[in-house]
Structure 1
Amino acid sequence: MNTQIAVRLPEQIVAFLDSEISGGRAKSRAQVVLRALEREQRRQLATRDVEILSGGSGLPDDVNAAAAQRKVD
């Protein structure tokens, strides 16, 4: 299911969206925005994974202990 939302963007960003479409790299503004948000989501998940694997995650001790045990295995 998709939900339609309205956002206000600076003209410079809208021009970029339109250049992606005119350059054939995207079919719509929504597609460019969705790609960017999915990329940001993946970046945040990867950052979280690095924090978890480095032991600096602030996770509960049992999760950190499990991660430490996994490093030993």
Structure 2
Amino acid sequence: MSTQIAVRLPDPVVEFLDREVAGGRVASRAALVSSALEREMRRRAAEGDAAVLARVGTADDLDSLVDWTVTHIDLEG
């Protein structure tokens, strides 16, 4: 299911969307906006996971992943 919404975007953003569509890199403005928002949702979920791992630790086999995550992801912002 999908819902149509109206949003106001700055002209440079709309120009970028139109260039991507015209260049055949995306099927439509909506496809690119949806893809970008889905990517942002995944990024935020990963940041949340990283924050939990940093706070509570991991099982022995994931310690190196926690160490890498804490040093490579900005958990504050």
Both proteins in one fold, TM over 0.5: yes
Larger Rg belongs to: 1
How many percent of aligned residue pairs carry the same amino acid? Answer: 52
Aligned to 1:43: 43
Structure 1 spans left out of the alignment, 5+ residues: 56-63
| Structure 1 moving runs of 4+ over 3 Å | none
In 2, the alpha carbon distance for the partners of 1:28 and 1:72 equals 46
TM-score (norm 2): 0.72
Structure 2 counterparts to residues 1-73 of structure 1, below 5 A:
1-55=1-55, 64=56, 68=57, 71-72=59-60
Q: How many Å apart are 1:23 and its aligned residue?
A: 1.0
- Computed over aligned residues only, the root mean square deviation of the Cα atoms, in angstroms, reads 1.5
Q: Which runs of 5+ in 2 are unaligned?
A: 62-77
